[in-house]
Amino acid sequence: MRTPEQILAAEAAQLDFSRSMSYGDYLHLDQILGAQVPLSPDHNEMLFIVQHQTSELWMKLMLHELQAAMACVASDELGSAFKMLARVSKIMEQLVHAWDVLATMTPPEYSAIRPYLANSSGFQSAQYRCIEFALGNKNAAMLKPHAHRPDLLEQVQAALVAPSLYDQALRLLARRGIAVPESHTERDWSHAYGASPAVEAAWLVVYRNPREHWDLYQLGEELTDLEDAFRLWRFRHVTTVERVIGFKRGTGGTGGVSYLRKMLDVVLFPEIWTLRTSL
């Protein structure tokens, strides 16, 4: 009697891969697997490259889901938005665990490749900046690292001036008849969001009557899940950087750990968190 592996091998032997698209063709694996080009002679640079390239792939999917979720919230299609936002939170979990792999790089190992990095830095990731802007952490100064690439600058600029996920959520509350100040539903979207007691009061209407506003209540909890996951990512980021490079300045010119620690204090959806004290 043949084993499952033998059966599978026999079936595969009968297929003609020369006439159809293969697994590698579909995924463009030649291009993807050929994109790791270490500049140093050090063995550990491959880890550094793969870590950041795979993170960029996850961020590409995250942006794909975030942009679709925002469109769904804007059109009151919350069922679809919940599915997408739940996926974004799971992607964040993947990115959190990715730091565990990079943390296996020791300070001497990183020091061996650092001179070859020049000024390149994750600080310059256009996709990450678009994610930050989509989640409401707007800062026009963050356009500068992309000024040398007009195509990337255009993408980041578009994310800066567009309503964030939280902006769309507040506009939805207003459309549902819940009192949200106009200052938070019609404003210059390129400016950083400012917390408001009136917005907290609007969310409290939802959270004090979850059965009456069930989908809005669920939206609030999806936002909570997302920021929870994002906070974990930021914490693992700063911890890994401190573990690997200490308090050296970042290759992109930032303060390194000191800059990342400041980011831990950024709250994306403030009223979603402060309302809990008032319940």
157-190 in b/e form (b: 16+ CB < 10 A) is: bebbebbbbbbbbbbbbbeeebebbeebbeeebe
The fraction of the chain above a pLDDT of 70, given in percent, is: 93
**Does 146 have pLDDT greater than 70?**
yes
- Taking the whole predicted model, whether its pTM rises above 0.85 is answered as yes
What are the φ/ψ torsions at residue 147 (nearest 5 degrees)? -65, -25
What is the structure's pLDDT at 254?
64
pLDDT 10s digits, 75-108:
999 999 999 999 999 999 999 999 999 999 999 9
pLDDT 10s digits, 23-64:
899 999 999 999 999 999 999 999 999 999 999 999 999 999
**Does 247 have pLDDT greater than 80?**
no
The residues, ordered by sequence, that sit 6+ positions from 54 with a Cβ below 8 Å of its Cβ are: 98
